[in-house]
Structure 1
Amino acid sequence: MSSPHSKSAAVAAALAALDADRTPERPVYRAAVRALLVALADRVPGRSVEVRVPPYGAVQCVPGPRHTRGTPPNVVEMDPDTWLRVATGRLDWAHAVADGRVRVSGARADLSAYLPV
């Protein structure tokens, strides 16, 4: 956890809960997920990949062709637990994809060069 976003109180509290095998409180979980999504979008601005972490948020990032209508061709989706772990470097991107914890579609959907945030 090296970025100021990942050192937020919400991210720290959510990770502490996950480390204790507890589900973070919903407002904390939401704030942590969104803080790290914003950090990713700030770090890698663009609109060619949509990163979804239901039910808490989604961002568009990565330079390239802009998507404007319908289902984006480049989508990354995962659960909040996986996002917190991948975004903070606690879970390797390649392992998360190989294990099916991260679902990717499209040629630009590899975020490994941008993680952890």
Structure 2
Amino acid sequence: MAARLKPAAPADVAAARARLADGSAEKTDLRLLVKHYLAVLEHRAPGHSVEVRVPPYAAVQVIPGVRHTRGTPPAVVETDAATWIALATGELGWAEAESTARVRASGERADLTPHLPLT
């Protein structure tokens, strides 16, 4: 069984967000924020019916429903780090992210609108 992600310390999240805002963020900041917000989503929407992927950083299974154990899950959401952070913080709405192809979502329950933003 894969280890669950854990939210980062609030001070670390604030520092990484500040560096992201001023343009000085590094890959370590993106990794911290991606994993932090995926952990928050996993905590708020536990389940196994939707896999949320933010390559190359992490993926989680969330939302109650059919349990996924092997192969392609019944629903997949995939996006890049910057888009995931913008969705999680409310800087970007789900509909806009989908319409501009910044997020790819397929399958039942793949709409994360009820669970976003996470802040």
TM-score, structure 2 as length reference: 0.85
What CA deviation, in whole Å up to 9, does each residue of 1:30-81 have, x standing for no partner? 1111010000000000000000001111100000011111011200000000
Q: Distance in 1 between matches of 2:24 and 2:94?
A: 22
Moved over 6 A (4+): none
Residue in 1 aligned with 2:25? Answer: 24
Q: Distance in 2 between matches of 1:89 and 1:6?
A: 18
Q: Which has the higher contact order (CA 8 A, sep 6+)?
A: 1
SS in 2 for 1:15: helix
Aligned-residue Cα RMSD (Å) equals 1.8
The verdict on how the C-alpha distance between 1:67 and 1:13 changes in structure 2, with shifts beyond 3 A counting, is same
Residue in 1 aligned with 2:100? Answer: 99
Residue in 1 aligned with 2:36? Answer: 35
Q: Distance in 2 between matches of 1:85 and 1:6?
A: 17
Q: Distance in 2 between matches of 1:81 and 1:23?
A: 14
Which one-letter code corresponds to 2:37 in the other structure?
L
Gaps of 5+ in 2: 1-6
Q: Distance in 1 between matches of 2:72 and 2:98?
A: 21
> Number of aligned pairs?
112
